[in-house]
Amino acid sequence: MTDLVSVPLHVLPHGEGLDLPAHATSASAGLDLRAAVPEEAPMTLQPGQFALVPTGLQIALPEGTEGQVRPRSGLAARHGVTVLNSPGTIDSDYRGECKVILINHGPEPFLVTRGERIAQLVVARYMSVRFEPVESLEETTRGAGGFGHTGRA
């Protein structure tokens, strides 16, 4: 595992009592995000329905990083439930509640219960860029070939 970086995290009242995001193993890239829905009022996603699911967390990511909200493979494989805008992005200057847009692509209603692991968060570095218009681009072997052009399935 690489060195751990401390990230300030604030638990909102409706997120109290839930496990904090953590790596499941020392080699896990993602940290599990949990549903902060009321115990007495789980959220039902009908087939084809999507909804914003609260996590009860606010985070302050280091500048130069983003939080990538990604699906959990188990939810997708077993229920057809995934993150609609995958990967969602949490910018380092965002201070609101982290929420997950879940969609049910499965054939059955899906019940989102309190504390359920609904997505994973991967914190990644990024590069800020400024585009500069030019007359032409440097040639490459690939050129303009795309969308299957390399012949690999």
| Per-domain boundaries in the chain | 9-125
Of residues 144 and 96, more confidence is placed in 96
User: Tell me: domain 9-125, CATH 3.40.50.150, correct?
Assistant: no
Using CA atoms of 91, 92, 97, 103 in order, give the dihedral in degrees to the nearest 10. 30
| Segment 111-127, tens digit of pLDDT | 999 999 999 999 999 99
Q: Report the predicted TM-score, pTM, of the whole model to 2 decimal places.
A: 0.88
pLDDT at 144: 82
Specify the DSSP class assigned to residue 78. H
Rg (Cα) of the chain, in Å, rounded? Answer: 19
